[in-house]
Chains A and B, each alone.
Chain A
């Protein structure tokens, strides 16, 4: 008898919890997840003459990501241009993740090792850029690296260079921009992880005559690994789908996946291709997430 009552209670709780979550889930299903299915469907249709689609099933869009037909001799070949855009995006995102980690880890460590009072202050300092509008941050870095921007003006005034170094509109500009924009996203999870780290373990390590480097590598890093994973995800995923930063800093020539997708819905007039590319991007992101999460949980099991 008690079991049934318990089961009834459990069922009631489940129903209640689902009911409470329902509005949020509905909004998300309609305006976030649901439309993704539409994109999937569109990726299997034929492009309309100037925009939109024609309701005819075809896998041309998916083929078009990897293969391309020469317009004049009709030969089929690899879509080098597409693949180079993907490669550039992955390369830039990985580099951004590594750079933000290189700068972010010491910064997080620094904040976490301040005395308690000062810590709140430093934390606040890192949060402001985190929440500053992405556009404002991209604009700010643009102003610094432009030909007549801060960097070049100072270097010329100091006499170090005679002509401005042209950084803008290169891959480097996009890299600098993305590192700048995503640095706070790496610092915060790292800080959270380091904050929970027990500093006494460091003492133990030093007591055992370990060098600083060894302590870092063998004691600290394995324990803060979840933070590293979280930070890497928070940087890699958005940077892979970045749109604003490459658009403003890349000058239209150094397209990343995000810009290339947008092109298909504007001048490119190929909604199915744009949809297929979006799905591919989503797939890559999901795979990256799985890989990262796997790596995080594996490390944790060694306890």
Chain B
């Protein structure tokens, strides 16, 4: 009986005794296990990854408190929100000797000038992935999910990530990101609501479901689409000509993190060019570290998902952080869509 009591106390108290631990809160399928193994071998720190599917879930969980995470990886337009709420600690650059490795174009980004709170993780685009054996027409358009062609009706999935979907709809309605023009917003809302019945599902897991033919098409991120293509050569990635979002995810130190030293070790670790390349090779997204190019896997150097073709570059737009009114409109549209 006593032994059981002690065991239960130990079980309950174990986090307090932990050494060499780090809790990373990240998007699903976004962290290279190889990288974590290497980190453990070099620094003796075990990294535990917990998945989330969307920025909103991450924000909700971190803000609720008592989560136990040390690092979180929000998208660019969410970083200011996290900072505003005091959820991210300011980074002490003197503890990051590799801070100079960040590629110059990614240092002074509007949403985190001088990288005060985050360092780059990976970046990419949101477009549409289509199984070309089901539909062989033009895939470089948002109409794949906003007005699906007959072959795709009832077979296209829409990833439930508010920012990407609502913005794609706004672009297709002729508007700009963060617009407060109610005409445009209304049009975007109506397009989405009209298209919803022809969607198969609103779920994650595109990489697997596109490769095993559960879905014929989906709004998807480029890296995930590349992985789907590697498993199923029929899957092609389209860049919507009406306008498509570009995103960058950055990793930040949670304000009430417990394993701060290990966190800095990790942040510094991923800014080494080889390690950044290792990170990219898993999820198939580009990274923001200079010098990593020579370590990148061959197929990524020429992949259409990673290297944006000339003709599609103009349509790519970085999502800024919107003002409260615009955010309110977008949330309202999204809530209506989700029901």
Contact = CB atoms under 8 A, between A and B. Distances in A.
Given A81-B336, A85-B339, A146-B214, A169 B59 contact: no
B202 A51 contact: no
Contacts of A265: 60
B201 A50 contact: no
Contacts of B63: 48, 50-52
Main secondary structure of the interface of A (DSSP, over half): loop
Interface residues on A, range: 20 to 34
A148 interface: yes
Interface stretch (B10-18, B115-123, B248-256, B327-335): B327-335
A34 interface: no
Interface string B307-339: 000000000000000000000010111011011
Contacts, number: 75
B332 A71 contact: yes
A50 B60 contact: yes
A225 interface: no
A85 B186 CA distance: 24
A267 B162 CA distance: 9
A266 B56 contact: yes
Interface in B263-308: none
A148 B214 CA distance: 8
A213 interface: no
Contacts of B148: none
B60 A72 contact: no
B124 to A, nearest CB: 21
A138 B199 CA distance: 23
B54 interface: yes
B59 A51 contact: yes
25 contacts: A51-B59, A52-B63, A52-B64, A71-B189, A71-B336, A72-B182, A85-B339, A147-B214, A148-B214, A166-B154, A251-B202, A251-B203, A252-B160, A252-B203, A253-B196, A253-B199, A253-B200, A253-B202, A265-B60, A266-B54, A266-B57, A267-B338, A268-B335, A269-B56, A269-B331
